[in-house]
Every structure is written in C-alpha cells, then in structure tokens.
Structure 1
Amino acid sequence: MTGSEADAEGQILGRINEMIRQEKDLREQLAEQVIDESTEHARLARLEVELDRCWDLLRQRKARVAAGQDPDKASVRTAAEVEDYLS
C-alpha cells in the first residue's frame, strides 16, 4: 500500500469513526431525553446508510488493490446501490 492509498483509507476510516461517535451521541441523547425516539431513529437511519457507503468504498478500494488496479478509481456508490445489494 502506498502512502496515498493509506491516506485515502485513513480518511475513510476517520469518517467511519466519526459516524460511530455520532451514533453513540444519539443513543446518549435519547437516554437523557434530549431527543425523542423518532428523531433518534431517523438520524440513525441516515448514519447507517452513510456508514454502509463508506464501508462499501473501503471494500472497493481493497478489491482494486488486490486486483492490481488503481484504488483511486473506486467511487462512492449511491445509497440505493449500496442498500439494495441483497434485494
């Protein structure tokens, strides 16, 4: 893995970690009754989709490296593409 590949993956992982922190914050806000359950669910649903998209991008990059291709050619897929894999 080159330095730029590691940097790009580090940025993606940083974004993932930030969203995980946001999930934790939402759960704490619900527990403390700062937000209601419907607000928490709506925000969590959006975060889960974005997390799925980040994980997908990371998998694409790793697959491209394994295939000897340029990982920078991987692209963020739409939420519909990522969420409908199993459909």
Structure 2
Amino acid sequence: MTEDRGIRQYIGDLVAEERRLRDELAGGEITASEENVRLRAIETELDQCWDLLRQRDAAREFGSDPDAASIRDAGTVEHYLD
C-alpha cells in the first residue's frame, strides 16, 4: 500500500465497511457494542491512511521520496495533538 491510489482504495474500502456495519446494526445483525469496537478500529486505520497520504504529499513537496513515508503507529496518529 505504498502508492497513493492503493491508499485511497483502502480508505474507500474502510468507508464501505463503516456503512456496512451501520446497516448491520440497523438490521439487528450485530450489537451496538460490536459495531462500536469495529468502528473505533476503522477510525484509527483511516487516520493512519490519511496521515500516510499527508506524509507522502509533504515528501513530494520538499523533493523527498514519497515511498520513504511509512504508516505511523496508532498512538502517534491518534494523539499527536495532545
């Protein structure tokens, strides 16, 4: 998942999964607790993907190799403003 297109595709897949989970909850197929656990994980993965895209954009802007960017751990991405 080092190309922007692949990252964006993965983001789309995660968004589709969010929608599916909401539909499953509405249909009584899963509990709210099950939905919440998976949604939290999806939100973290989305944050990591968007962060990776920002890193790649910044690398290009400053003449660096965007392929040198890497996914940061959840703690870094989720709490970098703290």
TM-score by length of 1: 0.91
C-alpha RMSD of matched pairs (Å) = 0.9
For residues 56 and 30 of structure 1, the distance between their equivalents in structure 2, rounded to whole angstroms, comes to: 29
Aligned to 1:3: none
Aligned to 2:54: 59
Letter aligned with residue 47 of structure 2? D
Deviation at 1:70, TM superposition (A): 0.5
Q: Deviations over 1:33-73 (max 9, x none)?
A: 10000000000000000000000000000000000110001
For residues 44 and 60 of structure 1, the distance between their equivalents in structure 2, rounded to whole angstroms, comes to: 24
Letter aligned with residue 44 of structure 2? V
**Identity across aligned pairs (percent)?**
46
TM-score by length of 2: 0.96
Runs of 4+ in 1 over 3 A off after TM superposition: none
Q: What aligned pairs does 1:32-51 form with structure 2 within 5 A after superposition? A: 32-51=27-46
Q: What aligned pairs does 1:1-87 form with structure 2 within 5 A after superposition? A: 8-87=3-82
Deviation at 1:86, TM superposition (A): 1.5
